[in-house]
């Protein structure tokens, strides 16, 4: 049980733990930089990118990131403002890394959705939004790049409302965009921010006055309860690059975004005000420093006051984990954390004991629910060029499966491991890391299977029948759960139809 004195309700310092969701190029990096700059976490614009470059230089496989100009790894950035600590969880934007991204979204209490004013809702924004909706994560919208020609604000708002089935409440209104841009109108405070960032006592520019009136009449007013419930999004306009509308966004996060929310778990949801220390691992990153083969598990603290050196129980294994050198991730460097509060993210260095989905607690066993495993869309057989490297290959695949880079399936027949990924880029990462980090020379061969489904049934005989009839298509995932590998969707549907008592699931929720 907790050795801490029970904090009174409201004792926890304020936290806003959030992620930015967007399509690549909408301006997430630029906005992140502005937020950190505003919070004093970095001192000059450009440091987020510069830091990224230094980090990328560390290991060869990350060259893929450089070549493609995308961010593969995600990190945590912390800044403070007005007594509130903001934890910004970076989510990789590329669609191939959706699994990691989805898991990161299970560790936030709210999200900022960045939309390019010229493009509106794009594919990746939509996907990420859907994950947020599954968990009713409240969303603040930031329509970026108003300094450029964009689509009319009405069109953008209607698109958000239609495509996302959300109510939209404009909080700011742009007086023109691009060359016509005259400023941003703060609807609540009734004041105009000019392109140079200063505030003008002038009223809203007459040329756009009808538009503003229509906007105020045509859209619902902001309703905090509806926002918190994930039914309404307040919409801010701005330009990350020109530092316009960034302050109001931070203010909105401070005023409206929720602090730590109760975490779905079994036997009961975790109350952030509970004195028991409980957290869960949403991400594991191996080899952050290739010289040390280190591995950092990212834990989201759900309740209690965490102190360095604490012993926590790993639910399920009964192991005690002594957390001697936890790290908080600040923008400039990793800093050692002495204390952390609900909503904070703690990095726990370990040697592979901690896995994504694990719950750690100093109280009675409790298990976080809702971290999904996704059905792979590409399956490949891994073939070793040097058969003496079997052990290294197994270790490498286990490591990467733990990080969520790949999924590993062991077919019932034959010795070759099958790997599953959600996107092509993950295969490149896999091969490159095998070579660079594990010195394993392997090739990926086409597999006769296209996709996989986890299978389960309340009727043991029905499951056995499937397994016996389709022995060559059965495999176990790395925890030994049965998986059916299908040649294609037609095959999957056909077999499914013939085994109605068996559930075929595209995701296996980690419990
Ligand atoms: P991402 O992380 O979402 O992929 O986007 P990022 O911030 O890297 O921004 C993508 C491009 O959009 C960058 O230009 C960036 O400068 C630009 N951008 C971001 N915010 C704004 C804005 O408010 N207004 C305008 N006009 N542009 C904006 P780039 O040329 O691709 O990169 P860079 O060479 O400028 O770094």
Check residue 188 and give its pLDDT: 92
- Out of 90, 241, 243, mutate this one to test ligand 1's pocket (max ligand atoms within 8 Å of CB): namely 241
Both tokens of 179, joined, read 């060359």
Distance CA 349, CA 212 (A): 52
CB 161 within 8 A of CB 226: no
**Who wins on pLDDT, 92 or 12?**
12
Q: How far is the CA of 235 from the centre of ligand 1 (A)?
A: 20
Protein residues whose CB sits closer than 6 Å to any atom of ligand 1:
22, 24-30, 93, 144-145, 147-148, 239-242
3-state secondary structure 253-265: HHHCCCCCCCECE
Atom of ligand 1 nearest to the CA of 23: 3
Q: Is the pLDDT of residue 293 over 80?
A: no
Ligand 1, atom 25, residue with closest C-alpha: 145
State the distance from the centre of ligand 1 to the C-alpha of 51, rounded, in angstroms: 17
Nearest-CA residue for atom 18 of ligand 1: 27
Number of CB atoms found within 10 A of residue 269's CB: 15
Mean pLDDT of the chain, nearest integer? 84
Distance of CA 244 from the midpoint of ligand 1 (Å): 14
DSSP letter at 8 equals P
Mean pLDDT calculated for residue range 144-167? 96
The complex's ipTM works out to 0.98
Residue 57 near residue 49 (C-beta atoms within 8 A): no
Q: Is the pLDDT of residue 316 over 90?
A: no
Please check whether residue 326 is in contact with residue 339, taking contact to mean a CB–CB distance below 8 angstroms.
no
- Which residues line the annotated binding site for GTP? 22-29, 90-94, 144-147
Mutating to test ligand 1, I would choose from 29, 30, 244 the residue with most ligand atoms within 8 A of its C-beta, which is 30
CA 331 to centroid of ligand 1, rounded, Å: 20
Which of 21, 22, 25 is the best mutation target for the ligand 1 pocket, counting ligand atoms within 8 Å of the beta carbon and taking the most? 25
406 contacts 430 by C-beta, under 8 angstroms: yes
The residue whose CA is least distant from atom 9 of ligand 1 is 27
Q: Tell me which residue of 273, 480, 508 sits closest to 404, measured CA to CA.
A: 508
Indicate the Cα dihedral angle 18, 109, 10, 344, nearest 10°: -50
Index of the ligand 1 atom closest to the CA of residue 148 = 26
Q: Which residues are annotated as a binding site?
A: 22-29, 90-94, 144-147
Distance from residue 157's CA to the centre of ligand 1 (Å)? 22
- For the segment 48-59, the average pLDDT, to the nearest whole number, is 45
| DSSP structural state of residue 263 | B
Residue 337: what pLDDT? 60
More confident residue, 163 or 404: 163
Q: How far is the CA of 499 from the centre of ligand 1 (A)?
A: 51
Distance CA 50, CA 374 (A): 33
pLDDT at res. 359: 93
The pLDDT, as a whole number, for residue 432 is: 84
Give the containing element (helix H, strand E) for 156. Answer: helix 153-164
Give me the domains of the chain, ranges plus CATH numbers: 15-75+91-255 (3.40.50.300), 265-368 (3.40.50.300), 372-509 (3.30.70.3280)
Relative to the CA of 22, which ligand 1 atom is closest?
3
Q: Which of 358, 349, 327, 330 has its CA nearest to residue 340?
A: 327
User: Ligand 1 atom 17: the closest Cα is on which residue?
Assistant: 27
- What is the structure's pLDDT at 31? 92
Q: Are 86 and 18 in contact (CB under 8 A)?
A: yes
| Ligand 1 mutation target, pool 22, 27, 50, most atoms within 8 A of CB | 27
What residue's CA is closest to ligand 1, atom 32?
A: 25
Residue with CA nearest ligand 1 atom 21 = 241
Cα of 26 vs centre of ligand 1, distance in Å, is 7
Between 61 and 446, the more confident residue is: 446
Task: State mean pLDDT over 406-415.
Answer: 89
Using DSSP, state whether 489 is helix, strand or coil: helix
Question: What's the pLDDT score for residue 406?
Answer: 85
How far does the centroid of ligand 1 lie from the alpha carbon of residue 441, in Å? 38
| In contact, 329 and 78? CB cutoff 8 Å | yes
Identify which of 83, 82, 157, 74 has the alpha carbon closest to the alpha carbon of residue 108: 74
Among 224, 243, 247, smallest CA distance to 234 is for 224
CA pair distance 6, 205, nearest whole angstrom: 55
- Identify the pLDDT of residue 70: 34
Residue of 367, 265, 257, 362 whose CA lies nearest to 304: 362
Locate the DSSP E strands across 31-83.
76-81
- Residue 448 phi, psi (nearest 5): -70, -5
Alpha-helix runs per DSSP H in 289-410: 390-403
- 108 CA from centroid of ligand 1 (Å): 25
Asked if 302 and 279 count as a contact pair (C-beta separation under 8 A), the reply is yes
Whether the predicted pLDDT of 458 surpasses 90: yes
170 CA → ligand 1 middle, Å: 23
pTM of structure: 0.78
């Amino acid at each position: 049980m907790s050795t801490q004195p029970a904090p009174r309700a409201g004792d926890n310092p304020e936290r806003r733990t959030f992620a930015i969701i967007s399509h690549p190029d909408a301006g997430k990096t630029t906005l992140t930089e502005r937020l950190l700059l505003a919070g004093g976490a970095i001192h000059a614009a450009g440091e987020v990118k510069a830091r990224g470059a230094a980090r990328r230089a560390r290991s060869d496989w990350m060259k893929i990131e450089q070549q493609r100009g995308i961010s593969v790894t995600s990190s945590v950035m912390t800044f403070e403002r007005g007594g509130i600590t903001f934890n910004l969880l970076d989510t990789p934007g590329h669609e191939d890394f959706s699994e990691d991204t989805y898991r990161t979204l299970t560790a936030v209490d709210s999200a900022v959705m960045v939309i390019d004013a010229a493009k509106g809702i794009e594919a990746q924004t939509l996907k990420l939004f859907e994950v947020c909706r599954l968990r009713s994560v409240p969303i603040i919208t930031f329509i970026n790049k108003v300094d450029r020609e964009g689509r009319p604000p009405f069109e953008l708002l209607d698109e958000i409302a239609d495509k996302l089935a959300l109510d939209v409440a404009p909080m700011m209104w742009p007086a023109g965009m691009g060359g016509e841009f005259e400023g941003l109108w703060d609807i609540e405070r009734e004041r105009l921010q000019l392109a140079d960032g200063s505030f003008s006592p002038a009223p809203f520019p007459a040329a756009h006055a009808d538009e503003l009136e229509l906007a105020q009449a045509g859209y619902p007013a902001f309703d905090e309860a509806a926002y918190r419930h994930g039914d309404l999004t307040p919409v801010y306009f701005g330009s990350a690059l020109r530092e316009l509308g960034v302050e109001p966004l931070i203010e909105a996060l401070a005023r409206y975004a929720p602090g730590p929310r109760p975490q779905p778990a079994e036997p009961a949801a975790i109350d952030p005000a509970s004195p028991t220390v409980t957290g869960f691992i949403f991400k594991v990153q191996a080899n952050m420093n290739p010289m040390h083969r280190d591995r950092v598990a990212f834990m989201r603290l759900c309740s209690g006051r965490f102190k360095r050196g604490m012993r926590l129980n790993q639910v399920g294994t009964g192991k005690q984990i002594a957390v001697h050198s936890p790290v908080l991730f600040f923008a400039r460097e990793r800093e050692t954390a002495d204390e952390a509060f609900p909503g904070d993210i703690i990095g726990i260095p370990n040697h592979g004991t901690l896995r994504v989905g694990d719950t750690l607690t100093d109280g009675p066993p409790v298990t976080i629910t809702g971290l999904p495993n996704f059905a792979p869309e590409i399956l490949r057989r891994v073939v070793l060029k040097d058969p003496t490297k079997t052990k290294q290959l197994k270790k490498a695949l286990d490591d990467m499966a733990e990080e969520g880079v790949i999924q590993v399936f062991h077919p019932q027949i034959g010795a070759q491991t099958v790997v599953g990924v959600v996107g092509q880029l993950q295969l490149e990462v896999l091969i490159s890391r095998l070579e660079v980090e594990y010195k394993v020379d392997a090739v990926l061969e086409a597999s006769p299977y296209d996709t996989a489904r986890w299978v389960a049934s309340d009727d043991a005989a029905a499951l056995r029948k499937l397994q016996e009839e389709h022995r060559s298509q059965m495999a176990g995932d790395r925890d030994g759960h049965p998986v059916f590998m299908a040649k294609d969707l037609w095959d999957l549907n056909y077999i499914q139809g013939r085994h109605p008592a068996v559930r075929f699931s595209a995701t296996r929720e980690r419990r």
